[in-house]
């Protein structure tokens, strides 16, 4: 889920970061490498579709809270991470906020569809 008021470059950046967190946590969702007709080998991709939703700030906060309440591990990106330039700085700024103070701009999760639907209630397909 992405906060709907982000700039296009921010949406793309956050989506890439959040997806990498899901893949790191759930490596079984990655398939086999691709091979073209000439024998060139390409990186494997996810075996499952990736659905991108969007929501306003209030709904994103509710989704974050519901994921924590249901103990679903997520990838999370907070607004202040846009002002950093590397991983250590991202971790430092991320660690300054808790669930009640974080300005969440993106959250990703991988769970059972029924549970995911409950957690993401209020978000809509990204246009």
Consecutive 10-residue runs of the chain (127 residues): their mean pLDDT?
A: 96 95 95 98 94 96 97 97 94 95 96 96 92
For 88-106, b/e burial (b = at least 16 CB within 10 A) is eebeebeeeeeeeebebbb
| This model's pTM is above 0.85 | yes
What is the CATH number that goes with domain 2-125? Answer: 3.40.1490.10
Q: Domains of the chain: which residue ranges?
A: 2-125
Which residues, including other chains, have CB under 8 Å from residue 27's CB and lie 6 or more apart?
Answer: none
Task: Identify the pLDDT of residue 85.
Answer: 87
Task: Identify the pLDDT of residue 40.
Answer: 98
């Amino acid at each position: 889920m992405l906060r709907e008021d982000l700039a296009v470059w921010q949406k793309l950046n956050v989506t890439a970061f959040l997806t990498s967190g899901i893949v790191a946590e759930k490596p079984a969702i990655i398939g086999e490498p691709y091979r073209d007709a000439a024998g060139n080998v390409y990186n494997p991709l996810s075996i499952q579709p990736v659905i991108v939703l969007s929501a306003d700030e209030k709904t994103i906060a509710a989704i974050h809270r519901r994921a924590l309440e249901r103990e679903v591990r997520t990838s999370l990106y907070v607004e202040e991470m846009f002002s950093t330039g590397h991983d250590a700085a991202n971790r430092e700024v991320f660690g300054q906020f808790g669930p009640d103070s974080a300005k969440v701009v993106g959250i990703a999760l991988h769970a059972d569809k029924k549970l995911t639907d409950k957690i993401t209630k209020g978000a809509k397909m990204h246009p």
